[in-house]
Structure 1
Amino acid sequence: MTDMPSATRLVAAIKFKWQKGEDTKTYDYFVPVGLELSPGDEVVVETKRGETEVEVVEIKAESEMASKPILRRVEPVEAAASEETKPVQDWNF
């Protein structure tokens, strides 16, 4: 039997929007494979009260506290808004 090293999963320390000030507590969530995140990114996670948007404050190599994965990245509002506000070409001369 060979000892195979297990794949390391990155962990994101996240902060909930209702947390303010220096005494904020962060919660660790696993980063899904292939999802690249940086501090300041907003993601969706599952909580006891359902899905919620949170801010990534740190990326860690490991954590003993993480037990759930991040569900997805929050798409920037500007991108969606720019699609809606594209000028319509009026070809009625």
Structure 2
Amino acid sequence: MRKITLSNGETVEVECLSFALTSGVVEPDGGVVIETEHFYAHQDVAYPIIFILGWFQDMNGCIFGRSVESVRPVLLHAKNEMNDKENVEEVMEAINILTEELNK
């Protein structure tokens, strides 16, 4: 079992975070965005993803095309510097909008 701290500060102890999410043991902030027979989407539980996307836009995508590890600084910045109440509210609003649109 591994202890994992989520972006909301909650610590969970799970063997596999992906399994815990898809089986409902761990509930992502904002819930499931959409789930179909072949697709499952939720807010990233470790990083406030809406800000990552904005940061990528500011970078003009220049970090894409390198290894996956090249996005780690962006993820850590979002988790450590952009995880305040105001930003979390924006993330939750974005989740709600996306969930509504995808489930029409």
Q: Which has the larger radius of gyration?
A: 1
Q: Per chain length, whose mean CA-contact separation is higher, i.e. which structure has more relative contact order (CA < 8 Å, sep 6+)?
A: 1
- If the length of structure 1 is used for normalisation, what is the TM-score? 0.21
Greater fraction of residues in strand:
1
